[in-house]
Structure 1
Amino acid sequence: MRIFLFIAALFATGSSHADWHYDKQAIMGTEVHLQFWVDDDSRADEIKRAVMDEFRRIDTALSPYKEDSELSRVNREAGKGAVKISQELADIIQKSLYYSDRTGGAFDITFATLGSLYDFRKGESADIKTTESLLPAVNYRHIALDREQLNLAFKDPRTKIDLGGIAKGYSVDRAIGILQRFGVQNASVSAGGDARLLGDKRGKPWLIGIRHPRDRSKNAAVIPLENTAISTSGDYERFFIDDDDHRVHHIFNPATGKPTDTDAGDTGSDQDKLISVSIIGPQGFDTDPLSTSVFVLGKEKGLALIEQMHNFEAIVIDANHRMFFSSGLEK
């Protein structure tokens, strides 16, 4: 009898079964959430580690806050002459430049020239004189990228870049690729306002909440989605209220070198100001920069841009807290 019990316990210990697995870690200045279904849960820890390690690798390379990152090295040296960069960084900058051209400069990673002078924790911003002085250096056309030689230079020595409007979308795509290589077919990965969904939630859609931009305890909408990406940009993510009672947030208008104006007033232009933008599309590498672009462009031009693009939809909330949808979501 004792032998039988020992053998039964041994087999029970070595068994594995299918189940959902979860992880949450602080990386890239936000919380990374991972949820996936795996048929053999003995591999769950290995999968979690591989996904989170990839987020850390990207953060190490692309963070503007880490002095030894590739991005920080570029910002120190590219204004003095061409510098060698990785294939990965070249690909991300190329995608960024594509959206700069496509949006007439509404998406522009050189916003960091002035954006780097803002400290949202301390409530500090660039003064008017500094803004006027550095504004000419905010222009994506100052970026000289040689993809064949993997060289990058800035034509204005004062120019700096920040990939905050595209790196998280890129990262969730990379995470999904890792999950697929492990054979995972159902998963959700999110980093801040960017999420990518693999398959459905085992026979039902994923329900993705779009946060109410003025009440963090509520959702403005809940969207059923599967096998897609969604990115949300809002003026509530990183901000402070200045001495004039204006909201100063992290989404910059490259044309002014200042945060995009989202304060509601008494004019009809408030109908065009946006405080939240969500873009749905095939991959985060596109939805992330598009959510920023539409936010800067405003409701009319932003929705018009999405209507021109195949397989993309938008949900926007204006300064008067009204919600609007692209035509594909109204059907």
Structure 2
Amino acid sequence: MTAKLEERNGLDILTMEAMNSTFYIAVSDCKISNWKEVIFGWINYVDREWSRFNSDNELGMVNKLPIGETMALSPPLFDVLDKAGFYREKSTGLFSPYLLPQLEYHGYQHSFPFTTSKKVNTGMPNVYNEEGSPFQFHSFTRTIKRISEGKIDLGGIGKGYTVQAAANWLKHFGNSTSGIVDGGGDLTVWSNGQKEWRIGVSHPYKHNLEIAQFRLKNASIATSNVIFRSWTQGNQKKHHVLNGRTGLPVESNIIQATAITGNCLDAEVAAKLCLMVESHKVKEQIPVHSLLLITDDGKIINE
């Protein structure tokens, strides 16, 4: 995962636990005095309303919506689902927000940490093809209509959206000259050109061992690997990165991918896609500045 190496001198800092991650937010010269209260509230809101482990929140209401019925969504949830659909189309279905039944089938039924899960006796639920979707989206009214069975898990893209929205608000509304919003390794940094952020990337097995360092002024980074959130189900090793076309945990010689892009959603999706397809295909779909890949035999590839 991505590690911070930034000195705290001259920065106003907020740290908090949410989404099973540690959030670290640091800004300079923010013009809004109660920015910590606003950002704390935003991150807690997402943690509460978008968690798939809480069936009584807004996402839970969407997942329980009966076929044929329509539901109005809050602007943030509609927006993140709309963006998730965009990435699903761009990746021709490799990335998908409609993998909750498959995640549960593979044993990801409660929040980490856990090391084992019970085997599910039923068959794996079918996945949607790239054209299919359980919902129809209506942008003008910000409503969705359920047209078939299927459930949403926002996972990494939900956290990436949260990070990017917080960074955008601090930069554009708070007029902060520089800052970082880091949600457990999914992060965005910005600067007026004078500040340079130093970001380190940790080894997939040894989190205290740094394998690379980047110096950035305006960029986003996300790291995805098949080690951190993994478990045993019966005699099978499982992890949380699923192929949207098959519903199966991805199998690749790449065990960790770090993507540097212009925004955190691009970085989050690009990092996951690098675990599924060749990096040049990822770059054809998403504007990537650079990639750092680690193979299962320990080779580091910097592109």
Question: Cα distance, 1:248 vs. partner?
Answer: 1.6
CA distance in structure 1 between the partners assigned to 2:258 and 2:233 by the alignment: 26
Identity across aligned pairs (percent)? 21
Partner of 1:36: 27
How do residues 1-331 of structure 1 correspond to structure 2 at under 5 angstroms?
Answer: 19-38=10-29, 43=33, 46-77=34-65, 79=67, 81-117=69-105, 118-119=108-109, 121=114, 123-124=116-117, 127=120, 129-131=122-124, 134-136=125-127, 141-142=132-133, 143-157=135-149, 159-180=150-171, 181-199=173-191, 203=194, 205-244=196-235, 246-261=236-251, 272-295=252-275, 297-298=276-277, 300=278, 302-307=279-284, 309-310=286-287, 312-326=289-303
Distance 1:79 1:217, change over 3 A: farther
How far off its partner does 1:192 sit? 1.7
Residue aligned with 2:155, SS: coil
Instruction: Say which SS state the counterpart of residue 187 (structure 2) adopts.
Output: strand
More helix by share: 1
Structure 1 gap segments, 5+ residues each: 1-17, 262-271, 327-331
Aligned equivalent of 2:4:
none
The two structures have a TM-score, normalised by structure 2, of 0.85
Greater displacement, 117-126 / 176-185: 117-126
CA distance, structure 2, for counterparts of residue 126 and residue 303 of structure 1: 36
Give the AA of the match of 1:75: N
Aligned-partner residue type, residue 50 of structure 2: L
Q: CA-atom RMSD, angstroms? A: 2.6
Deviations 1:131-180 (A, max 9, x none): 1xx124586722322222322234332x1111112111111112112322
1:107, CA displacement in angstroms? 0.3
In 2: Cα distance, 1:314 partner to 1:109 partner: 23
In the alignment, is the contact (CA less than 8 A) between 1:110 and 1:139 conserved in 2? no
SS at the partner of 1:177?
helix
SS in 2 for 1:165: helix
Aligned equivalents of 2:175 and 2:163: distance in 1? 17
Structure with larger RCO (C-alpha < 8 A, sep 6+) = 2
Structure 1 position 275, deviation (Å): 1.0
- What SS does structure 1 have at the residue aligned with 2:255? strand
Q: CA deviation at 1:80?
A: 5.2
- In the TM superposition, residue 190 of structure 1 has moved relative to its aligned partner by 0.6
* More displaced stretch, 252-261 vs 108-117: 252-261
Higher CA-based Rg: 1
Question: Displacement, 1:23?
Answer: 2.2
- Per the normalisation by structure 1, the TM-score is 0.78
Task: Confirm or deny: 8 A CA contact 1:78 1:152 kept in the other structure.
Answer: no
Paired residues of 1:315 and 1:325 also in contact (CA < 8 A): yes
- Secondary structure of the structure 2 residue equivalent to 1:216: coil
Checking the alignment, whether the CA contact within 8 Å between 2:30 and 2:175 is kept in structure 1 is no
Q: Secondary structure at the match of 1:130?
A: coil
Output the CA distance in 2 between the equivalents of 1:231 and 1:67: 28
Aligned residues: 288
* 3-state SS of 2:282 partner: helix
- Offset of 1:195 from its aligned partner? 0.3
Asked whether the 8 Å contact 1:197–1:228 carries over to 2, the reply is yes
The amino acid of 1:73's aligned partner reads M
Tell me: CA distance 1:51–1:87, structure 2 relative to 1, closer, same or farther (3 Å): closer
Q: Tell me how far apart the structure 2 counterparts of residues 191 and 125 of structure 1 sit (CA, whole Å).
A: 30
- Tell me, in whole angstroms, the C-alpha distance in 2 between the residues paired with 1:106 and 1:137: 11
Matched-pair contact (CA < 8 Å) for 2:178–2:190? yes
User: Which ranges in structure 2 are unaligned for 5 or more consecutive residues?
Assistant: 1-8
**Contact 2:259-2:291 at 8 Å conserved across structures:** yes
